[in-house]
Amino acid sequence: MYSHPKFSKDFMTNFPVSANVAKMKMSSTLKAGQTAANLRDQGFDVIDLTLGEPDFPTPEFIKEYACEGLQKNLTKYTPTAGLKSFQESIVEFYAEEFGANFSPKEIIATDGGKQALFNAACTLLNPGDEVLIPKPYWVTFPEIANFINAKSIFIETEETNFILTAEQVKNSITDKTKLLIVNSPNNPTGRVIPADEMRRIIEVCAERNVYVLTDECYLFFAYPPTEVFTSASLPEDLRQFVCVAGSFSKTYAMTGWRIGYTIANEDWTREMTKLQSHSTSHPTSFVQYACGRAMENHAGSKAAVGAMLAEYERRKDWLIPALQAIENFKCAMPEGAFYAFVDVRNLLGDRFKTSADFADFLLNKSHVVVTDGEGFGADGFLRFSYATSMENLQNAVERIRKVLEQL
Ligand code: PLP
């Protein structure tokens, strides 16, 4: 059998990874989930609170639409930017629900929110450009900037309770600033930027020709009285600076289906379409069909999202007071998404130098896995996902309480 002379173990382990990828860190949230899975494989009864993934199945009516798409033989390539019916259903949905006014030519169907973010950043940024990223951030944002050799400029937001303000943005803009990436409702903090502040943030950016990438993947998960706000509903003069990255992953519990979208001006959309035409082409044809149909079905969509939101709210209303009752845990009430962001800095010192040490301790002693804040630029914090059953949450808190009592 032919064997290439370079096919040796040494050669393989010395894979000459590109400089752009070598700089990237593996997603810390995925890593924590992997640790939980490994422990489970070893027979431990692990409670995994790391997952940023709804624990609900995809609603039946959406699965039925996907089957319908298959029956219609939607099994071929679609246009790169997606099926026209998909684009039109997004336009119609946003017009109806948010009073937004944009055209189907401003939409691209993407393989999840992640591709939407990558498309937007890669078509705008050059090496050396500055990208404003509020802290704490979703782990992928700085990695995208890194990949493009752009420079992440982090904005501290703790003094405004982790809610980004226009003032903070204004003070961070320089002549090199090209983009602000903002995520609201926020992963990991659960905070939501109020609509008028978001508008001011975008105005401040537009005045200085800075573009804004708004990651709205938790758009529908804001707990009343907090209001849902999409930057897609802004007037045209502001919207031309905005790219909305949307996703169906959380909205319809469709993480594995890989579908999202961008809403951006026609020029930006044209460049993103060009880029996507050389990478993934487009998301799966009958999945686009299913999501388009789901958006057309306002009543079905609202019922499905409403049921999930109510269940997240029920868990949040139990979990947050339970965490706050633990000595040295500080945790604000989330306004959106499905994460509790716990400040454990009071516990750091000789025994635990970092929140990662403390997360390791919880893992080893209580078999509860949570995500350390460092990957979000927030050492000293832990992220607890409540996209898991109430029973898991109650057991996890009980276990944590017990091990802390023994400290
Ligand atoms: N943005 C944020 C803030 C997220 O938390 C996630 C997933 O966890 C995504 C984007 C990406 O979602 P997807 O690519 O599954 O649509």
Which tens digits make up the pLDDT trace of 256-286? 999 999 999 999 999 999 999 999 999 999 9
Give the residue numbers spanning the domain of 324. Answer: 5-57+302-405
Q: What is the pLDDT of residue 13?
A: 66
Q: What is the pLDDT of residue 12?
A: 56
Whether 171 maps to a domain, the answer reads yes
Question: For the chain, what's the residue count?
Answer: 407
Whether 349 maps to a domain, the answer reads yes
Residue 371 Cβ inside 6 Å of ligand 1? The answer reads no
**Total structural domains within the chain:** 2
213 CA → ligand 1 middle, Å: 14
Q: What is the pLDDT of residue 9?
A: 57
Confidence of residue 10 (pLDDT cuts 50, 70, 90): low
Q: What is the pLDDT of residue 3?
A: 58
Whether 188 maps to a domain, the answer reads yes
Q: pLDDT tens digits for 375-399?
A: 999 999 999 999 999 999 999 999 9
Q: Are 99 and 220 in a shared domain?
A: yes
- Of 41 and 124, the one with more pLDDT: 124
Confidence of residue 37 (pLDDT cuts 50, 70, 90): confident
Q: What is the pLDDT of residue 20?
A: 87
Q: What is the pLDDT of residue 28?
A: 64
Cα 107 to Cα 105: distance, rounded to the nearest angstrom: 6
- To test ligand 1's pocket by mutation, which of 249, 259, 261, 339 has the most ligand atoms within 8 angstroms of CB? 249
Q: Are 293 and 321 in a shared domain?
A: no
Q: Are 288 and 313 in a shared domain?
A: no
CATH code where residue 183 lies: 3.40.640.10
- To 10 degrees, what angle do helices 298-324 and 84-98 make? 60
**Spatial CA neighbour of 140 closest among 25, 57, 224, 60:** 25
Among protein residues, the one whose CA lies closest to atom 5 of ligand 1: 187
Q: Are 129 and 203 in a shared domain?
A: yes
Mean pLDDT score of the chain, rounded to an integer? Answer: 94
255 CA → ligand 1 middle, Å: 9
Neighbouring residues of 238: CB distance < 8 A, sequence distance ≥ 6: 199, 202, 203, 206, 231
The closest-lying atom of ligand 1 relative to the alpha carbon of residue 114 is 14
| Among 300, 330, 357, residue at a domain's last position | 300
Whether 63 maps to a domain, the answer reads no
Whether 9 maps to a domain, the answer reads yes
List Cα–Cα distances, 404 to 133, 327, 395, in angstroms: 35, 9, 14
Q: What is the pLDDT of residue 71?
A: 98
Q: What is the pLDDT of residue 23?
A: 85
Q: Are 294 and 243 in a shared domain?
A: yes
Q: What is the pLDDT of residue 123?
A: 98
Kindly tell me if the per-residue pLDDT of 296 is higher than 90.
Answer: yes
Residue 217 Cβ inside 6 Å of ligand 1? The answer reads yes
Cα 241 to Cα 264: distance, rounded to the nearest angstrom: 8
Confidence of residue 338 (pLDDT cuts 50, 70, 90): very high
Q: Are 53 and 97 in a shared domain?
A: no
Q: pLDDT tens digits for 310-327?
A: 999 999 999 999 999 999
Q: How many CB atoms lie within 10 A of CB 259?
A: 26
Confidence of residue 14 (pLDDT cuts 50, 70, 90): confident
Confidence of residue 24 (pLDDT cuts 50, 70, 90): confident
| Among 233, 265, 300, residue at a domain's last position | 300
CATH code where residue 33 lies: 3.90.1150.10
Structure tokens at 233: 């509903």
- Bridge partner residues of 342 (DSSP): 331, 382
Answer yes or no: are the C-beta atoms of 162 and 186 closer than 8 Å. Answer: yes
Q: Are 260 and 167 in a shared domain?
A: yes
Q: Are 293 and 306 in a shared domain?
A: no
**Spatial CA neighbour of 108 closest among 221, 277, 230, 251:** 277
Structure tokens at 117: 């973010």
Kindly tell me if the per-residue pLDDT of 1 is higher than 70.
Answer: no
| Among 300, 333, 363, residue at a domain's last position | 300
Q: Are 181 and 328 in a shared domain?
A: no
Residue 50 Cβ inside 6 Å of ligand 1? The answer reads no
Q: What is the mean pLDDT of residues 328-334?
A: 96
Q: Are 43 and 124 in a shared domain?
A: no
Confidence of residue 39 (pLDDT cuts 50, 70, 90): confident
Q: What is the mean pLDDT of residues 181-202?
A: 97
Q: Are 95 and 232 in a shared domain?
A: yes
Cα 56 to Cα 226: distance, rounded to the nearest angstrom: 23
Q: Are 38 and 110 in a shared domain?
A: no
Whether 66 maps to a domain, the answer reads no
Cα 194 to Cα 358: distance, rounded to the nearest angstrom: 33
Whether 204 maps to a domain, the answer reads yes
Kindly tell me if the per-residue pLDDT of 29 is higher than 60.
Answer: yes
Confidence of residue 38 (pLDDT cuts 50, 70, 90): confident
Kindly tell me if the per-residue pLDDT of 56 is higher than 90.
Answer: yes
Q: What is the mean pLDDT of residues 173-198?
A: 98
Whether 62 maps to a domain, the answer reads no
- To test ligand 1's pocket by mutation, which of 111, 114, 115, 291 has the most ligand atoms within 8 angstroms of CB? 114
